[in-house]
Structure 1
């Protein structure tokens, strides 16, 4: 049962990557929609506020400022960079979150199928176990390579109009 739950999680995160991020990139590329959404909701505005809902928005903006600043060098100034740059950084955070969850679910799904049959010592069963383990290890290493390559590609492209 756990194998199928892990498969479900993996499918969810894989679809989030392939479909979800694809839709967001298409929306940004065609209309600049993500940047406009950040502007409309003043997502990065940390200026002082008086109303209750403004204070709530400001606390989110402060949290975002902290999260985005953690990954950047010391010369990064959250309030001085354009909203487009902060929007891109926020998108990159989402990509990192999805890719890590995708890999983690994939890793545990593959790991859940790693077992050996201790009931038989036949050469063919041992060879089958060896091939299954080698195939699983290959799939894990292949997935690591795919994730690293995805980071490289999404890092440099797919944002501009």
Structure 2
């Protein structure tokens, strides 16, 4: 009798994701992060997220390319008129996403530096359970960024 083989397909996100809680607008937060970290977050085309067939929303997104680490960082607005993209409790105001994060990049120092910004209430790394719950979003975002030719 032949042995049964099962194939499980899944999406593994290339992103390391942090939720940011602040009352600042996206352009102001991007400027504050630029000042604190000495980087250049620049706005790119808004990300269009589909909540359903008839409902979608546009979310501001900023990008910084760390050439020395060959990785990219994105600041994405999470709250829109239609609702949040990542709906965890509490709902984050923004997401900071690292694409293709290098092991040489000091993530702990990054967290400390962002938390030093007075207007940032807190910065928390999203756990794997939350990421898995939103894998459609991460797949869509990766596709969007590929189309924009930024990754």
Which structure features the higher share of strand residues?
2
Q: Which gives a bigger RCO, structure 1 or 2 (Cα 8 Å, sep 6+)?
A: 1
Which structure features the higher share of helix residues?
1
Bigger radius of gyration: 1
TM more than 0.5: no
